[in-house]
Amino acid sequence: MTEEVWKDIVGYGDEYKWLYQISSYGRVRCLDRVDSIGRKRLGHIINGAYSGAGYKYVGLTKNAKTTSARVNRLVALAFIQNEENKPYVNHKDENKKNNNVDNLEWVTAKENSNYGTSIERLSKSQSIPIKVIYQDNTYEIWDGASIFAREYGNSVDQRHIVDVLKGRRKSHRGLRFEYVD
């Protein structure tokens, strides 16, 4: 889509007056309105904010109640057919800040978790090299805490290894762990 198209955000208005619109580029605007005491308020683009997970969201107010809404979901609801009633919105380029309609699609939970490089990124984040230091101060380098825990057996718990790595414990089962520099 090359031209920016605006659509009303469903649930924030009625057949006579809408409060908010979403664009095909992922921008949200508040429309001109008269507030509860009769003052005219000019419409404007809402900047929004980013969640800890990296998704852009905006606060939408109706009847003195503000609701937080993800911008990618607002775009998908307004512009993308969802005939299979899929519950999630995927960013095709894996950039959560790119909320352009051409970059979004409806997906299932499985499709979302298996999309693109998500599995590769997850495995990399879980395979940060660690140093396992034994009681005699000898050590080995392992590809990650989960790999070491799996190979070492039931006597070692990955959660406790991570606690040692993060400094919440000094050791686990007589072993010390450090991240490899």
CATH of the domain at 173: 1.10.10.10
Say whether both 20 and 66 belong to one domain: yes
* CB neighbour class for 20 (10 Å; exposed up to 12, middle 13-18, buried from 19): buried
CATH of the domain at 70: 3.90.75.20
Number of structural domains, the chain?
2
Cα–Cα distance, 10 to 22 (Å, whole number)? 10
In a domain, 1, yes or no: no
Residue 50: give the domain boundaries: 6-117
The token pair that represents 54 in the structure block: 């990296």
In a domain, 151, yes or no: yes
Cα–Cα distance, 171 to 164 (Å, whole number)? 6
pTM metric for this prediction: 0.64
Say whether both 169 and 134 belong to one domain: yes
Say whether both 10 and 97 belong to one domain: yes
21: β partners: 8, 29
C-alpha separations of 163 from 27, 49, 111, 148 in Å: 42, 32, 32, 14
Domain-ending residue, one of 117, 149, 165: 117
Per-residue pLDDT of the chain (181 residues; tens, 9 = 90+): 579 999 999 988 766 677 899 999 999 999 998 877 888 989 999 999 998 888 999 999 888 889 999 999 999 999 999 999 999 999 998 899 999 999 999 999 888 877 666 555 555 555 689 999 999 999 999 888 888 888 887 778 888 998 899 899 999 989 999 998 7
